[in-house]
Amino acid sequence: MKKVLALLLFLVAAFASWLCYTSGILHRGAPVSVRVSELEKSVRVVPVKDQKSGLSFPLVGRVFASKSVEITPEVTARISKVHVASAQAVKQGQLLIELDHSMEEARLREETVRLDNQMRRLSMMQKLNSKGVVSLDSMEQLRAETEQQKAVVEARKAALEERKIYAPFSGVLSLHRLTPGELVRPGSVLLQLDDLSEVYVDFNIPERLMSQLVPGQKVVGTAEAWPNEKFNGVVREIDTHVKSDTLAIKIRVFFKNDNVRLLDGMMMEISLSLFGGKYAVIPLKSVLYQGDERYVFILNKDRTVSRRRIILGPVTGSYAAVLDGVRPGMQVVSEGVEKLADGDKVRVLSDEKSLEDLSGDVPLRKKTRTGDSVL
């Protein structure tokens, strides 16, 4: 009987102890639920900057000499003399090549002698006509024949000049292997002459960007051949036609090339800024997307956040200009923005703390080697 009574007392004591333990747990747990609901969300913020921004549009094109011509003969003849060397700089009007012209010189001399004879005859007939010895009709007929002979002489001179090839403008010649005695024909390229003091590159841009481009806009280009050098250019010409298949329009950018770094046919890259000006600039990772609308969260003085609709402008790298919705000096949430709601109270992290080290659960817990600790 004593054993049964002792067992009952033990069970009652154990039950009482269990009630005290569970009531203490519940008592301590109630404030935890309150703290969880009141916990602040950790975020990182950045200031809205006021800086010059623009849409940087990368373009690649081929370099062309401002003037370029393939020099070809107009007649079939043998080369008599080559007056220039390969890659030589020449002046406008300089004699480059002479073709064999012995036959043309002989014909010119023949026709010149014939013209001189007719000129003497015409002079004598004019004297005789003044004395009434010859008729006026005879004199006028000889005058017409003389004029015709002058035209023949001019034609022979032109034929002779066709055998001499001159530089049409100042520039640099291409490499060549011309040899005296070589037979050439019309259409065969003898030399290439390029004026490289100024070069241009044609680029195609989408037609939607045309309103943001004006003649005279300055650009900076680079070429693989000169990786550490930049070339200053200017948009000088804009085409008047849009390609129907690509909806692109051609622009022509000119570059000064006094040191002849840029050669015809070389590839060149430019970064064209199409939207200049000062704007409020924010990181792209701060932007929330909902349909066609864009939002950011603004940090208020009471450490709450407000959802703000914005209108984005040009994008450069990881930053975007904002045309409306924020102004310089405001603080926008740059990290932790995904879990925020309008009016949430937040905790701004310092630079040494990282959101990647924080869990997304509530309460936030920081991972340690020994275990998790509530922030």
The string of pLDDT tens digits covering residues 222-241 is: 999 898 899 999 999 999 88
Which has more confidence, 375 or 214? 214
Q: Could you give phi then psi for residue 156, rounded to 5 degrees? A: -65, -35
Residue 365 bridge partners (DSSP) = 374
Chain position carrying tokens 């690649």: 60
Q: Which two tokens stand for residue 67?
A: 């003037």
Smallest Cα–Cα separation from 310: which of 325, 291, 290?
Answer: 325
Q: Which two tokens stand for residue 325?
A: 């919705």
Q: Which two tokens stand for residue 315?
A: 């994008």
Q: What is the pTM of this model?
A: 0.54
Q: What pLDDT sits at residue 360?
A: 40
**Separation of alpha carbons 135 and 223, rounded Å:** 79
Per-residue pLDDT at 133 exceeds 90: no
Which has more confidence, 212 or 220? 220
Q: What is the mean pLDDT of the chain?
A: 81
Would you say 49 and 331 are in contact if contact means Cβ atoms under 8 Å apart? Answer: no
Q: Which two tokens stand for residue 209?
A: 């960007």
User: What's the pLDDT tens digit per position in 140-162?
Assistant: 888 898 899 999 999 999 889 88
Per-residue pLDDT at 31 exceeds 80: no
Per-residue pLDDT at 270 exceeds 50: yes
Residue 142, classed as helix, strand or coil, is helix
Q: What pLDDT sits at residue 369?
A: 40
- As a whole number of Å, the CA-based R_g of the chain is 45
**Separation of alpha carbons 310 and 307, rounded Å:** 10
Which has more confidence, 343 or 13? 343
Residue 6, classed as helix, strand or coil, is helix
Residue type, 30: A
Smallest Cα–Cα separation from 264: which of 218, 195, 203, 204?
Answer: 195
pLDDT band for position 13 (cuts 50, 70, 90): low
Per-residue pLDDT at 35 exceeds 70: no
pLDDT band for position 56 (cuts 50, 70, 90): low
Average pLDDT over residues 341-361: 65
pLDDT band for position 32 (cuts 50, 70, 90): very low
**Separation of alpha carbons 231 and 221, rounded Å:** 5
Q: Residue 186, preceding bond cis, omega within 30 degrees?
A: no
Residue type, 353: K
Give the 3-state DSSP-derived string for 210-234, with helices as H, strands as E and coil as C.
HHHCCCCCEEEEEECCEEEEEEEEE
Give the largest CA-CA distance in the chain. Answer: 185
Q: What pLDDT sits at residue 154?
A: 93
- In this structure, how many other beta carbons lie within 10 angstroms of the beta carbon of residue 251? 24
Q: Which two tokens stand for residue 62?
A: 């081929």
Average pLDDT over residues 211-231: 86
DSSP state of 292: T
Q: What share of the chain is helix, strand, coil (3-state, %, to 5)?
A: 30, 40, 30
pLDDT band for position 77 (cuts 50, 70, 90): very high
CA distances from 35 to 228, 341, 357, 365, 372 (A): 59, 19, 21, 13, 17
When mean pLDDT is compared across 15-29, 80-94, 314-328, 351-365, the lowest value belongs to 351-365
Per-residue pLDDT at 68 exceeds 60: yes
Would you say 296 and 310 are in contact if contact means Cβ atoms under 8 Å apart? Answer: yes
End-to-end CA gap in the chain = 57
